[in-house]
């Protein structure tokens, strides 16, 4: 104990002498380099090292957020492309393992739950509010623009244009809460409609339903517009697979002239039609366009006819660099403008004349919506929307 006290006293005396030396040398301290100033130099080196550490790019907050944005988009792209097939393969493999009972139980439950997607699915606000969707939104960024109020006493069919390669704007705006669709359209329940085949794939169907996605078929739309109350909005990407084949940067074209089924459904249920144009949807991927009559276009049309989708050869940027090719879309702004609703009367057996009339009104409203907002989002006044 005496030894410790003596040592401690020595340290105190040393600190007093050091303090005195610093006081006496205050006039010439500025002339000393950090290396010549003892402990002061060591402290400076430590501070400098810490500054260097926190200036490393991988610790930079903006860099980290950008990487999180890239990862959030990539996980959705991979889910869109391979989740259904991968989960099907895993479950089939499970049948051949000691865990076969899990697969049996899932497929048994699936048989009882088969019609749930046709009745609006199982929307989960928790999933729709995941933080990953905010990173997804900010990567491009994606913005939802409201131009008119939508009364909750009506039902709606939203026509979304253009399809793009994957409909990124449609998903972010209407299957998540990242762009505050519920706050901008209070009391309106959006249902993004997609290929019915996606709901035949295990696990993928649960993922889609949790976001409020439903099959784009007559049974589902009839149910939502007649047996689910009011305030429902079904988002249909009208151009579908055919429109995706013409998706390329710098092109504003929609496939609409011969797409009249959604108008007939609107008339049968008295659901108002709402045109939507998503500026920038075609800018996020580059695609190899096959000319009409080529073997590539023939293959795409056969897939579209018999399977329901058209395989596209496309690319975006790489995971770590925008200078390389990959599946990550380019970070181009996507602005989705929701137009003025067209009031549609309820006609249980609409004639072709009725369908043609309101279809023409819808096409005219879509073109006017495009022309009104195009200059706000970087397009020249001379840009014309191509309606095919």
Enumerate the β-bridge partners of residue 326: 316
Q: Is 217 exposed, middle or buried (0-12, 13-18, 19+ CB in 10 A)?
A: middle
Tokens (6 digits) for 70: 């890239």
Q: Characterize 348-368 residue by residue with b for buried, 16 or more Cβ atoms within 10 angstroms of its Cβ, and e for exposed.
A: eebeeebbeebbebbbebbbe
What pLDDT does 52 receive?
57
Look at the block and give the residue holding tokens 């009011």.
230
pLDDT class for 159, splitting at 50, 70, 90? Answer: very high
In this prediction, what percent of the chain has a pLDDT beyond 70? 85
CB 166 within 8 A of CB 311: no
Q: How far apart are CA 254 and CA 257, in angstroms?
A: 9
What pLDDT does 213 receive?
97
What is the SS3 string spanning 274-335?
EEEEEECHHHCCEECCCCCCCHHHHHHHHHHHHCCCCCCCEEEECCCCCCCEECECCCCCEE
Tokens (6 digits) for 320: 């770590």
DSSP 30: G
What is the chain's mean pLDDT, rounded?
Answer: 86
What pLDDT does 291 receive?
80
DSSP 89-123: HHHHHHTTSTTHHHHHHHHHHHHHTTTGGGGT---
Cα dihedral value 331, 333, 334, 335, nearest 10: 170
DSSP 212: T
pLDDT digits (tens, 9 = 90+) for 326-353: 999 999 999 999 999 999 999 999 999 9
Q: Is 230 exposed, middle or buried (0-12, 13-18, 19+ CB in 10 A)?
A: middle
pLDDT at 235 over 60: yes
Q: How far apart are CA 46 and CA 270, in angstroms?
A: 72
> C-alpha 50: how far from its chain's center?
38
Q: Which of 210, 232, 206 minimizes the C-alpha distance to 221?
A: 232
pLDDT at 4 over 90: no
pTM of the model: 0.82
What pLDDT does 181 receive?
97
What pLDDT does 307 receive?
73
Q: Which of 92, 83, 300, 312 minimizes the C-alpha distance to 199?
A: 83
pLDDT at 46 over 80: no
Pairing of strands 213-215, 189-194: parallel
What pLDDT does 25 receive?
47
Q: How far apart are CA 34 and CA 328, in angstroms?
A: 49
pLDDT digits (tens, 9 = 90+) for 356-371: 999 999 999 999 999 9
pLDDT digits (tens, 9 = 90+) for 10-32: 544 444 454 444 444 444 444 44
What pLDDT does 56 receive?
52
Q: How far apart are CA 115 and CA 310, in angstroms?
A: 26
pLDDT digits (tens, 9 = 90+) for 75-130: 999 998 899 899 999 999 998 999 999 999 999 999 999 999 999 899 999 999 99
- The full set of domain ranges for the chain reads 61-387
């Amino acid at each position: 104990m005496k030894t410790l006290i003596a040592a401690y006293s020595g340290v105190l005396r040393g600190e007093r002498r050091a303090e005195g030396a610093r006081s006496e040398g205050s006039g010439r301290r500025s002339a000393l380099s950090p290396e010549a100033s003892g402990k002061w130099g060591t402290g400076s080196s430590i501070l400098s090292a810490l500054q260097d550490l926190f200036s490393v790019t991988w610790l930079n907050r903006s860099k980290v957020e950008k990487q999180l944005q890239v990862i959030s988009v990539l996980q959705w792209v991979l889910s869109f492309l391979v989740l259904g097939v991968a989960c099907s393969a895993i479950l089939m493999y499970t049948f051949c393992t000691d865990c076969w009972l899990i697969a049996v139980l899932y497929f048994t439950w699936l048989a009882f739950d088969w019609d749930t997607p046709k009745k609006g699915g199982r929307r989960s606000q928790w999933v729709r509010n995941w933080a990953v969707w905010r990173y997804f939104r900010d990567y491009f960024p994606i913005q939802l623009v409201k131009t008119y109020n939508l009364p909750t006493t009506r039902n709606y069919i939203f026509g979304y244009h253009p399809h793009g390669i994957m409909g990124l704007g449609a998903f972010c705006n209407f299957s998540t809460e990242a762009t505050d669709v519920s706050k901008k359209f209070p009391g309106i329940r959006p249902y993004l409609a997609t290929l019915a085949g996606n709901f035949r794939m295990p696990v993928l169907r649960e993922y889609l339903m949790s976001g409020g996605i439903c099959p784009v078929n007559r049974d589902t739309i009839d149910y939502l517009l007649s047996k689910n109350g009011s305030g429902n909005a079904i988002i249909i990407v009208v151009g579908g697979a055919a429109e995706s084949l013409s998706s390329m940067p710098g092109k504003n074209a929609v496939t609409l002239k011969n797409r009249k089924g959604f108008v007939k459904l609107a008339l049968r249920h008295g659901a108002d039609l709402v045109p939507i144009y998503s500026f920038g949807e075609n800018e996020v991927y580059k695609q190899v366009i096959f000319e009409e009559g080529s073997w590539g276009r023939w293959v795409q049309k056969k897939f579209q006819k018999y399977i329901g989708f058209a395989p596209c050869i496309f690319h975006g940027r790489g995971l770590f660099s925008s200078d390389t090719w990959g599946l990550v879309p380019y970070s181009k702004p996507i602005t989705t403008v929701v137009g003025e609703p067209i009031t549609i009367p309820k006609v249980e057996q609409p004639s072709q004349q009725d369908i043609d009339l309101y279809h023409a009104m819808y096409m005219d409203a879509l073109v006017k919506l495009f022309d009104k907002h195009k200059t706000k989002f970087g397009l020249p006044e001379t840009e014309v929307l191509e309606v095919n």
